[in-house]
């Protein structure tokens, strides 16, 4: 018989040696085959395992962002789920086959029970992680498909460089509150994250919910409100947090969008006109859903500067100090206005979002992924297309390593009842230019640029400094 050809050797293993080879075969594929003379199959299995390990090491060396870029694509996630399930089943079958090859020919009752029990335990040990990983992949696909938008018609599946020739990427972050007994949705928290795609430097521009008569973008909305948004009658004040629901209730103001998309579309363009920026995408989080997300990762640690009233009927308060808040407590920390005002609440909300983003480490997310995925599907909506996710992951990594600053347009600089919108646009431009060293590109808006100072406007403040 040729060297290396399969040749079954007489079974000569005792109960202990057989169980040891079964355990070894679960860790090193093909070990039992080699021990019993099945060299060709043994080396094939060993080569397959070595190849999988090598692929894993290469992926680790390339970096987690590359892996994340793959596993946020629905097609890849479907394939990954299938591969993981197949791997789990195949690995368990290999354990069983190895046990049958190396067990004694006529084992005693004790040896037979011990060997079978060991093989069953090993099957569970190798298949369970694969099943869990397949579950995570399947849930990830559900999240991607339910939260993120389908690619628009004609949208390239994988743009080579979606930020090409772009100095900023602007994403509107919305905190929405649909309270019982109050019709519609109110966008009580609105922040634009303006990101430099080259460096990751980010400036958060916070807009008060009660900015009066916000200027409307071109189109039917401006034709209806040529001098700024005035609301839907006496019971609906013309402030910024009413734009979303107005668009949903009046389809004619956003005729190009479908139900559920009119509000975000008009709000994005309205906020963009206020700030003088092109808002690329939005991400909206329902406030009650936000509490579920916090609970899903086991709470969030924040530094509370002053007591915050807890509960709708002043049921208690959140004491000052650094502490870990549950979802319900975090919700009240972010939404309570008792003892403060909208602007203090805006500051707390930004600190809360910053803390949550920094504390949601990969191990915590993986450990609680099931709950987190279900909470995310209920709480989050966005118009970010699925094919853009890999590029956004790379951008998010830059943001995490860069400085995040915050600018809020609040009194005394900006009076929400009579906002100076040209000043807001100038301050936005100044904040971006001064922080990044870029030259001013927009030459269409007249007037001198204000310098940051005690009487001129808000200086961009590090979000980490503002929250501690």
Instruction: Give DSSP secondary structure letters for 66-108.
Output: HHHHHTTSHHHHHHHHHHHHHHHHHHHHHHHHHHHHHS-SS--
**What is the domain range of residue 95?**
15-147
Whether 103 contacts 115, CB under 8 Å: yes
Query: Does residue 7 fall inside a structural domain?
Result: no
In this structure, the number of other CB atoms found within 10 A of the CB of residue 397 comes to 15
Pick from 62, 37, 130: which is nearest to 91 by CA? 130
Residue 334, pLDDT score: 79
Rounded CA-CA distance 119/352 in Å is: 49
Q: Are residues 121 and 219 in the same domain?
A: no
- The residue written with tokens 């019709």 in the block is 183
Residue 444, pLDDT score: 37
> pTM of the prediction?
0.76
Give the 3-state secondary structure of residue 372: helix
What CATH number does residue 313 fall under? 3.40.630.190
Band of the pLDDT at 368, cuts 50, 70, 90? confident
Higher pLDDT, 315 or 201: 201
Distances in whole angstroms, Cα of residue 170 to Cα of each of 65, 269, 272: 21, 12, 9
Q: Are residues 118 and 256 in the same domain?
A: no
- Across the chain, mean pLDDT equals 82
Query: Where does a domain end: 115, 147, 179?
Result: 147
Whether 356 contacts 212, CB under 8 Å: no
Higher pLDDT, 220 or 386: 220
- 385, 388, 390, 392 alpha-carbon torsion, rounded to 10°: -100
pLDDT at position 125 over 60: yes
Q: For residue 150, which phi and psi values (nearest 5 degrees)?
A: -65, 150
* CA atoms in the 13 A half-sphere facing the CB of 435: 28
Residue 148, pLDDT score: 85
Whether 264 contacts 244, CB under 8 Å: yes
Strand partners, 174: 190, 284
Q: Are residues 216 and 95 in the same domain?
A: no
Query: Does residue 317 fall inside a structural domain?
Result: yes
Distances in whole angstroms, Cα of residue 389 to Cα of each of 10, 149, 382: 56, 11, 12
Q: For residue 72, which phi and psi values (nearest 5 degrees)?
A: -105, 15
Whether 206 contacts 409, CB under 8 Å: yes
Q: Which residues contact 241 (CB under 8 A, 6 or more apart)?
A: 186, 187, 188, 190, 209, 210
Rounded CA-CA distance 308/319 in Å is: 7
Residue 340, pLDDT score: 61
Q: How many domains does the chain have?
A: 2
Most confident segment among 55-69, 131-145, 268-282: 268-282
For residue 111 the two structure tokens come to 């040896």
Residue 290, pLDDT score: 81
Q: Which of 170-184, 204-218, 283-297, 391-405 has the lowest mean pLDDT?
A: 170-184
Residue 438, pLDDT score: 45
Query: Does residue 8 fall inside a structural domain?
Result: no
Band of the pLDDT at 175, cuts 50, 70, 90? confident
Q: What is the mean pLDDT of residues 12-36?
A: 92
Query: Where does a domain end: 147, 177, 193?
Result: 147
In this structure, the number of other CB atoms found within 10 A of the CB of residue 244 comes to 26
Residue 282, pLDDT score: 94
Rounded CA-CA distance 111/118 in Å is: 10
Report whether the peptide linkage leading into residue 363 is cis, meaning its omega lies within 30 degrees of zero: no
Q: Are residues 28 and 140 in the same domain?
A: yes
Strand partners, 301: 324
132's enclosing H/E stretch is helix 109-147
Residue 57, pLDDT score: 85
For residue 382 the two structure tokens come to 């966005």
Rounded CA-CA distance 91/21 in Å is: 15
Q: Are residues 133 and 90 in the same domain?
A: yes
Q: For residue 29, which phi and psi values (nearest 5 degrees)?
A: -60, 140
Instruction: Give DSSP secondary structure letters for 295-340.
Output: HHTT-EEEEE-S-EEETTTT-EEEPSEEEEE-HHHHHHHHH--TTS
Q: Are residues 43 and 182 in the same domain?
A: no
Query: Where does a domain end: 147, 181, 203?
Result: 147
Pick from 245, 203, 247: which is nearest to 221 by CA? 247
Q: Are residues 135 and 179 in the same domain?
A: no
Report whether the peptide linkage leading into residue 171 is cis, meaning its omega lies within 30 degrees of zero: no
């Amino acid at each position: 018989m040729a060297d290396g050809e399969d040749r079954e050797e007489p079974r000569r293993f005792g109960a202990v040696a057989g169980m040891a080879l079964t355990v070894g075969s679960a860790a090193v594929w093909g070990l039992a085959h080699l021990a019993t003379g099945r060299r060709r199959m043994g080396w094939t299995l060993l080569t397959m395992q070595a190849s999988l390990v090598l692929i894993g090491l290469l992926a680790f060396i390339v970096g987690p962002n590359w892996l994340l870029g793959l596993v946020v694509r629905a097609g890849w996630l479907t394939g990954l789920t299938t591969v993981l399930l197949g791997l789990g089943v195949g690995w368990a079958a290999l354990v069983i086959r190895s046990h049958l090859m190396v067990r004694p020919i006529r084992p005693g009752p004790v040896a037979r029970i011990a060997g079978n029990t060991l093989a069953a335990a090993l099957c569970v040990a190798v298949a369970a992680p694969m099943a869990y990983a397949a579950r995570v992949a399947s849930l990830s696909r559900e999240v991607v498909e339910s939260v993120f938008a389908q690619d628009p018609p004609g949208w390239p599946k994988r743009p080579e460089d979606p930020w090409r020739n772009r100095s900023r990427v602007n994403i509107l972050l919305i905190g929405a509150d649909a309270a019982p007994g109050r019709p519609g949705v109110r966008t009580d928290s609105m922040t634009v994250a303006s990101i430099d795609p080259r460096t990751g430097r980010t400036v958060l521009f916070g807009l008060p919910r009660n900015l009066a008569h916000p200027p409307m973008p071109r189109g039917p909305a401006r034709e209806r409100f040529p001098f700024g948004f005035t609301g839907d009658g006496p019971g609906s004040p013309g402030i910024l947090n009413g734009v979303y629901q107005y668009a949903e209730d009046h389809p004619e103001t956003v005729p190009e969008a479908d139900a559920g998309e009119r509000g975000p579309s008009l709000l994005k363009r309205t906020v963009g006109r206020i700030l003088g920026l092109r808002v690329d995408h939005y991400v909206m989080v329902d406030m009650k859903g936000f509490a579920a997300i916090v609970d899903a990762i086991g709470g969030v640690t924040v530094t509370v500067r002053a007591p915050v009233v807890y509960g709708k009927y002043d049921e208690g308060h959140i004491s000052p100090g650094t502490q870990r808040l549950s979802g319900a407590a975090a919700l009240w920390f972010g939404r309570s206005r008792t003892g403060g005002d909208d602007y203090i609440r805006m500051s707390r909300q930004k600190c809360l979002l910053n803390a949550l983003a920094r504390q949601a480490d990969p191990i915590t997310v993986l450990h609680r992924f099931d709950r987190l995925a279900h909470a995310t599907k209920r709480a989050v909506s966005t118009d970010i297309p699925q094919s853009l996710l890999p590029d956004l992951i790379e951008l998010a990594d830059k943001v995490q390593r860069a400085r995040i600053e915050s600018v809020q347009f609040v009194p005394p600089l900006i009076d929400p009842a009579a906002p100076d919108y040209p000043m807001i646009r100038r301050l936005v431009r100044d904040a971006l230019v001064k922080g990044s060293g870029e030259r001013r590109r927009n030459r269409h808006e007249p007037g001198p640029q204000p310098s940051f100072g005690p009487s001129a406007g808000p200086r961009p403040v590090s979000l980490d400094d503002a929250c501690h």
